[in-house]
Amino acid sequence: MQMFDMPIINADLCNGCGLCMTVCDCGALVITGSIISVHETDECGYCTDCEAVCPTGAIQCPFEIIVDDSFEQSAEQGFGQ
Ligand code: SF4
Ligand code: SF4
């Protein structure tokens, strides 16, 4: 079982250009041989920049940050007060 949702690398598409590492300093992305590998870390900020910058579509971020409007509304209303 994975403790954290981390980016997923498709090794068949990765050309080892290293662009993803230039936009990420969390330490999750490491060159292993000629492709990127992902190391689990709780430092990943889930920014999806690695996915966005990859020219070959080799990275997929399986997470999505969703702003919960109901939480915001509850905060404005004083959480039920
Ligand atoms: S940007 Fe994409 S192709 Fe380049 S090293 Fe990272 S995963 Fe591989
Ligand atoms: S989602 Fe952001 S912080 Fe996480 S590995 Fe990709 S670039 Fe780094």
Q: Domain spans of the chain?
A: 8-76
**pLDDT > 60? residue 2:** no
**pLDDT > 60? residue 1:** no
Read off the pLDDT of residues 25-79 as tens digits, 9 standing for 90 and up: 899 999 988 999 999 888 999 999 999 999 999 999 988 667 777 776 777 777 6
The verdict on the CB of residue 16 being under 6 Å from ligand 1 is yes
Ligand 2, residue 61: give the atom nearest the CA.
1
CATH number of 8-76: 3.30.70.20, 3.90.950.10, 3.40.50.2300, 3.40.50.720? 3.30.70.20
> Between residues 74 and 18, which one has the greater pLDDT?
18
- Which of the listed residues 5, 21, 24 should we mutate to test ligand 2's pocket, taking the one with most ligand atoms within 8 A of CB? 24
> Between residues 33 and 14, which one has the greater pLDDT?
14
Separation of alpha carbons 14 and 35, rounded Å? 6
Alpha helices in the chain (DSSP H): 19-22, 49-53, 69-76
> What was the pLDDT predicted at 63?
80
